[in-house]
Structures are given as structure tokens and as C-alpha cells.
A and B are shown apart, each in its own frame.
Chain A
Amino acid sequence: MHLPFCAHRCGYCDFVTATGREEQHAAYVDALLRELHEEHRGDPVDTIFLGGGTPTFTALPELLRLLAALPPARELTVEANPETVTPELARALRAAGVTRVSLGAQTFQAHLLATLERQATPDDVRAAFGHLRRAGFDNLSLDLIYGIPGQTPADLADDLAQALALEPEHISAYELEAKPGTRFTIAHGAELERQAEAMEDYFERVVETLTAAGYRWYETANFCRGDRRSEHNLGYWLGHDYLGIGVGAVSTVAGVRRRNTPKLAHYLAGRYDRELEPLDDETRARERVMLGLRLDEPLPLAGLRHALDPAGLARVEKLGLAEHDDDSLALTARGRFLGGAVTAELLA
């Protein structure tokens, strides 16, 4: 479920967002509930994820009205930006049945937060974490970004140490993806190139540090303690259907992918202008391979063999990047670092 409102649009962000617009929050929640009512016909729901934008920037009464109207689910995650998390908000989310909060920390370095145009300070991140813990959340995730213009290996090491000190159940660590032509990319071009060269080292350091601290590298960019994976995101990687509600939201249901209009005004008016992409069996199989190989568990091959190139498979096995048996295919540790290239090699 997509809540697009933010206090400020960060330079590197490529999600559908809208800044401010407090006067539209109520109307937007109305629109969400209307779409939910149209699309959800009472089937059981496994997990719900409220993403953004900054869901916790939404006027609290409206956010609570939305949460109260959601169907029951075994995991209900809300994304939050640290500076929006007050003790009251934390308690209110907990009381509304939210089981998991994903906190957009990104970095603990003040100058890098400024580069990213984040509103939070490093203290905000730590404080938000404390508020959530005290409100009773036992399933918290931190987002980190590496490859930020101006970042040094020491900065990254410090980010990882500070994140670990908070003992979150889950950490997502992403490389900064600067889209060509964006304000951010234009402003930081040369430095982004320098960072791109360091990305190999960063990625290795992230995986080494977090796994050494006892986290499970269960997905290319995701780490958890024990079995605290993101159940919701796991659904994407396992190829399950999902229903996206909100402006710009994407669904994949019964072999059709569709995207709602990214225009807020249209969405508020009930005009979804959906872009449809039918997925044939072959495409779905390719996606299953692409997504499944991001996980640390073997990919079951039933129904997917035709999507694989036997010669490519033989090559990557010979290089020690993947292993397969009769039923499943798994990447080796080195294979996972090269997951994209290996997948390109494997696909028929």
C-alpha cells in the first residue's frame, strides 16, 4: 500500500512522492480505502506493507483510520523516517496492530545524511529506534545505503557498527542507485563514478560484517537475525501474487502485472489509468529464476527448467558459481556476489 506524502523529496529518490499536501491526506486515505474495497474481495491476506513516500508523515489520525480498516494479516509493516517517530507515534502504531517497522536510517554520518537530503540527524535515528523498542516492537528493520557521494570505507564501517549496536532484527543494505539525468546524479556525477569503483569493496564489507555479527544474508541486499526475514518481501522473491493499492502502485495478480497512475490528482479522482502487462508463462518463469536466485535457499526447479540455458548452467557450475541437483538450483557464496551476471548467464 503506497502512501506518497513526504516532508521533502530527497534528490536520489525515484518513488512516486508528493511533498506536504496535508490537506489531501484525508482524501487520499479515502481513495486508498475505496480502491482496497474494489480490489480486495475478502480473500485472506498474508502480509501487508505500508510503503512510501513517508507513511509516518501522513497525518496521524488519517494513518490510524487506514490501519483500522485493513484486513487482518500475520505481518503488518510500516515504513518510517526517523524524524517522524515520536513516542506517541510508536505507541499508536503498536496499538493499531502494526507488527514491524522499517526505519529509513540510510547512514549515521551527519554529512552524508545532508548529501542525501534526509531530514533526520544521526541522533534522530537512534532516538526513533528507542521509541519503537519501548513501544513494544520486537521486529525492527533498518535501511542502510552505501556508495553515497563523499562516503569513505571508514564511514561505512561506522554505519555498520552503529546499526549493529542497535541490534535490529533486520537490516537492508542497498547500494545507492543514482538514476541518470536526475538532479542528484547531475550534482554528484564525478563523485558517483568514484563511488561506483568502490562498490565491490563496500558490498563485500557489508556482507562480511553483518554475517560475522550473526546475521543471515538471506537475500542479495537483506539480512536478518534468526528467522526474522521480511515475510512481505519474501512473497515477491518467491513469486507470489500481490495487490498494490495506491498511486503508482504495482500489482501482479493471476498472470497480469498492472501499474496505477502515478498522478496523484487522477488517483484521488478514482482514475487509475492502469498500465497492463500480461506475463506469459515464460516471462513468469524467468522472473521466478531472477527473484528466486536472490535468496539463500535453493530455487526449486519444478516448472522452471525450460527457462534455463543448459550450456549457461554448465558454465557457471564449472566456474563454481552455482550448484544444482535434480530438484533445485543454488548459487554459491561467490555466485551470490555475481548474482545478476550469473542469472543472465543462466536464463535461456
Chain B
Amino acid sequence: MSQSKIRNFSIIAHIDHGKSTLADRILEVTGAVSAREMREQILDSMELERERGITIKAQAVRVSWKGHRLNLIDTPGHVDFTYEVSRSLQACEGALLVVDAAQGIEAQTLANAYLAIENGLEIVPVVNKIDLPAAHPDGASIEIADLLGDDPARVVRISAKTGLNVADVLDAIVERVPPPAGDAGAPPRALVFDSSYDQYRGVVAFIRVVDGTFTRRDALATMATDTRFEAEELGFFSPTMTPVEQLSVGEVGYVITGLKDVSILRVGDTLTTVKRRAAAALPGYKEVKPMVFAGLFPTDSDQYPELRDALERLKLNDSALFYEPETSNALGFGFRCGFLGLLHMEIVRERLEREFDLDLLVTAPNVAYRVQDRNGEWIEVHNPSDFPREIEEVEEPYVKASIIVPKEYVGAVMELNNDRRGTFDHMEYLSPQRVHLTYELPLAEIVLDYYDQLKSRTRGYASFDYDMAGFKAGNLVRVDVLVAQEPVDALSLIVHRDFAYERGRLLVDKLREEIPRQMFDVAIQAAIGARVIARETVKARRKDVLAKCYGGDISRKRKLLEAQKKGKKRMKQVGSVEVPQEAFLAVLNIGQGNKS
């Protein structure tokens, strides 16, 4: 098909604004899927995505509309996956920006709209859910048109649920989104905008052909990592996998590579042929770096090998996941894992527990720190217990946070951000009622309970998004917790000096509640270096005897003692103190506030 008849587009929307429903309706209206075959939200294939109403992995589906070939490239909706979103958008010439007619613009809508504009995409504004009683299609249309500098009359008003005006959306794509540019005769180049791992066929790369033509059996190479492989199969989704001999300029499809590891075929890399190698890679490839770290430990230490295998398998499909073995004196053997953000962490944890049936203990998350030691060397630290005690300087990651909130909650949001070491950046009214605030915040201040706090202080009305904004120097200290003079590595934390006393006190208080009384007084201390900043004591037990023991009772009492002995063996031994694992769990959770 002629290049001029191709249209590549994405749908960007805030969670629950109807992206998946619209995608389903497009498949149905174009006849790609008959109503009978229609499975709700067909693009969201993973069980977890379904439950959370989010999409993790992008896919592309080819549909036909009035003599044109439309490729719908799905994008993940969440802030943690900004990089993946930007790669998906880079594969398109246009985007549908979908806004809920009752909710209006949200922080994520903004972030993704800016991303689309930066990528030079033609944006087709869509207001969805106009059939709802609470819908304000006019208000939402004005908001979205203001944002884009467009005419409110050009906003397509639909109900994806009922299918109303979905055909108008398709017509708008054909009319407004430009066909792909690109040189059919040039050496082949394609953008890898996503990949996934299939147990039988290896890595499957999702590609957008930018120049030239790729043919089955071609010897291919990636330009950033120079990974080489043969194109075992080329094809597209319709929405089932449909093999073809060739994928040409402007087309979107997949390549089956036979590779065994997604980490050597990175999203954002450029694919070319070995025989006719392109001169320059496409712009935009960057290595995604995990920013949030946490220790994952099996509750039952026998499950360590299973946890290792499970992480290996997840990593096959998730190149952003980072892990390395970690040994904790309190929690035993586990892994220090790095994530793109909190949602990514939650998803990995849930997949490990659900798909691999593991029982996990997850330490409080922390961010990556850049630390200059006394020798002037900069190192990156992922674990508070690796944080050097003697440091010259330390830098922590910052984010640019974008918050949209009804105007009556502006004060509450500002107060929260001030508490979290935020720096005010900008405020504007999106409408007389709604305000858009931007702040710079340390990532460390949002990884714990920021989102919960924001939601609770704005009665759920705030929407929030963030972008990484680089590292900045911070007045940070390492707080250690000592139980009976022994440091408990899993409880060490890095915190701003101003908050050190408060956090130390909180930890120590909680531990005093959780550590059972022993046969001796147990001192619990929080310390910065050698300086103790908080202290509590778990007083020794004064009585632990079997009340009475005579001839008829000896067997039963012996069994009681043996059970007591066994119970001791299940405890984690921190120095001379027996601490039940649940105590660590409770303490690790305090940083996360009242997370429900």
C-alpha cells in the first residue's frame, strides 16, 4: 500500500478516561474484530493490567478505514513508563488526546500531551463519555482546546462506550494526521518502540519502519547495542499475529528475533540490516535507569532460589527491572531491586507474588544517591546500608511534579509540598475552578506516601504526575538503627538532616512495640554515626516459668518447652535479640504511612 495511505497514531489519556474502551470500539467499527469476537479491552492482555485498569506494554494493531491503513499504537498510561510512552509516540505521526467529559484535563493528560507535542505529533482532541449525566462536553472541549491552542469546534465528542461518533474519530485521523515521511529507497531503519519475550520464540520486537524495507530472513543489527540476529518472522497484529514477507517504510509491525534476552534489544534502539547498514541511528535512544530501590526478601528463606528464578524470568520481559543479590543481617538473603518508579515496583512485587507464588518482604523504598567520598570519588548508592558514613557531598534525584487540583485545595497542596522539601515553580488557572501547580521535589519525598497524602488532603481530587529533573545536592544523613548495640541494616535510612530526629524517634518507638520482651533489657537506638538521636528500652521479662509440673503433667509441659524452643528458632536473631520477622515488617511499613 502506498505510503500516503498509512496513518500511525496513539491514544493518550488519563487512567479511566476511556482509552481502552475507545481502542476496542475502533477495532469493532473498522471490522478488525467482529462484535462476536470482541473481548472487552482486547489490547490489555495481562491479567494484572486488567485489574488495575492500566496498560503496561505497548502493542500495535493494524486496522483498515476507507481505503487507509491505520496503525493504533498503544501506550502505557503511567508516569513510571514515560520513556516507553515517548518511544511509542515517536513511532506515530498523530495522537488522540482523550479527556473525560466529566473530569476534564488531569495531570497525566498534560504530561502526555506535552510529550506528544514535543514529538511533533498532530493531536486530535477527543472528549469522551458525553453520554454520562455528569458530562460537561462544552467545558471539557474548551479546556482541551485552550491547552492545544485549537478551536473547540474541532474537538470530537464521543461516547466510546456506546460507539457514538467513533467513526468521526477515524475520519479525523485520516484527514488530520499526516502520512509517514521517510525514504523508501534509503537503507532500512526502524525504531524499536517495545519488545516482549515469548517462551518459545524469544524476543519479539515491535517496530516502526522509518526508511526502506525489511524482508523476512534479513540479517539485522541494532545500532546502539549492535545486537545481531535474523528476522525469523515479520508481521503485524490485526489484532492476532499476521506474518508478512516485508515491512516497508511507514509501516508498523513486529519482528521475531529468536533472541533470549530483552536486555540486548532495547526499546528506543534503531534496527537496520547488516547488508545495507544505515548511516545514523534514530534519535532518542537512552538507557532507562532505575530510580527507586528496595530490598526484596522471601518471607521463607527456603524460597530464595525461587525468587532468583522468578526475577530472572521477569527481567526477560522487563529490561527496566534491575536486581542484584543482597544479604541483610536482619532479613537474610534476598535481592536489591531497582524500579522506574513506585507503580513499577508494585507491579513487579505483585507479579512475583501472584505469578510465582512467592511470599515477599519488601523493605521501605529508597532512591538512588550520588555520593562523593573523602577521596573525591563519586559513587552511586542504591542501599542506605551502603551509604558511606564519611562523605564530602551527596546528591539526590529531583522531580518536576505537576499537580492539578480544584482551587480550594491549593493551600493544602502547597503545605504538603513544603513539608516535603518542595520548591514552588509555577501556578496557572486551567479554568476558574482548576489550578495547575508545578513544584520541584526530591524523589525521596514522593516515594513513600506522597501520593496517598496528596489524595487524602485533596479528598481525592488532585491528579499528579512527575518527570525526572536530575540530581541536586542535599543535606542528607544516614540514620542507623541499633538493637542491643547491633546495627540492623534493613532499617538504615537516608533522610534530610532536619527530619532525622523525627524519623529516628518514630522507628525506635515502633520497634519498642514490636520487639517482644527478652530475658534482658534491650536498648533500641537510632543514631547518626556515633551520635544517638533516639533511644528506647524493651524491659526484660521478669517471669517465664511453667506454673506447676507433677507426675501427670510432665509430657505436656515438656512439649510446651519444646514448642517454645522451636519458636525461638523461627525468630530472626539480631545479635543476642530474637526478633520475629513480623516486627521488621511492621517497622518497614511505617515509612509508608497509612497506605490502604
Contact = CB atoms under 8 A, between A and B. Distances in A.
Interface string A1-19: 0000000000000000000
A148 B549 CA distance: 19
B542 A204 contact: yes
Nearest to B546: A340
Contacts of A233: 550
A341 B551 contact: no
A221 interface: yes
B570 to A, nearest CB: 13
Interface string B539-559: 001111111111110110110
A344 B545 CA distance: 10
Interface in A248-304: 248-252, 257, 259, 277, 283, 286-287, 290-291, 294
A342 interface: yes
Contacts of B541: 200, 338, 341
A174 B545 CA distance: 11
Contact of B558 (A242, A244, A290, A345): A290
Given A220-B545, A337-B543, A341-B564, A319 B555 contact: no
Contacts of B542: 200, 203-204, 337-338
Contacts of B576: 315
Contact of B549 (A236, A257, A277, A345): A236
A82 interface: no
Contacts of A251: 551
B389 interface: no
B552 A342 contact: no
Interface residues of A, number: 44
B483 to A, nearest CB: 16
Interface in B293-308: none
A117 interface: no
A336 B545 CA distance: 8
Contacts of B557: 290
Interface in A171-216: 172, 174-175, 177, 199-200, 203-204
A341 B568 CA distance: 10
B561 interface: yes
Nearest to B563: A344
Contacts of B561: 286, 290, 340, 343-344, 347
B558 A249 contact: no
B520 interface: yes
Contacts of A249: 552
A321 interface: yes
B531 interface: no
Contacts of A220: 545-546, 548-549
Nearest to A147: B547
A149 interface: no
A287 B558 contact: yes
Contacts of A104: none
Contacts of B565: 344-345, 347
A339 interface: yes
B519 interface: yes
A283 B545 contact: no
Contacts of B545: 203, 220-221, 336-340
A244 B546 CA distance: 22
Contact of B551 (A200, A250, A316, A321): A250
B550 A236 contact: yes
Given A200-B542, A341-B564, A344-B565, A221 B547 contact: yes
Given A338-B519, A340-B564, A200 B543 contact: yes
Contacts of A341: 519, 541, 544, 564
Interface string B320-346: 000000000000000000000000000
Interface in B408-454: none
Interface in B543-591: 543-552, 554-555, 557-558, 561-562, 564-565, 568, 576
Contacts of A347: 561-562, 565
A203 B552 contact: no
Nearest to B564: A344
A342 B550 contact: no
Contacts of A172: 548
A278 to B, nearest CB: 11
Contacts of B549: 220, 236-237, 290-291, 294
B93 to A, nearest CB: 71
A284 B393 CA distance: 64
A281 to B, nearest CB: 14
A240 to B, nearest CB: 10
A242 B564 contact: no
B555 A286 contact: no
Interface in B505-556: 519-520, 541-552, 554-555
A339 B544 contact: yes
A257 B552 CA distance: 10
A283 B555 CA distance: 10
B543 A242 contact: no
A347 B555 CA distance: 15
Nearest to A199: B543
B77 to A, nearest CB: 51
B497 to A, nearest CB: 38
A338 B519 CA distance: 7
Nearest to A259: B552
A338 B544 contact: yes
B372 to A, nearest CB: 42
5 contacts: A174-B548, A237-B549, A252-B554, A290-B549, A294-B549
Interface of B: 519-520, 541-552, 554-555, 557-558, 561-562, 564-565, 568, 576
Given A250-B552, A251-B551, A341-B544, 18 more contacts: A220-B546, A220-B549, A236-B554, A250-B551, A250-B554, A252-B554, A286-B558, A290-B549, A290-B561, A316-B519, A319-B520, A337-B544, A339-B545, A339-B546, A340-B564, A342-B544, A347-B562, A347-B565
Chain A to chain B: the 5 pairs with minimum beta-carbon distance, closest first: A341-B544, A344-B564, A250-B552, A200-B542, A200-B543
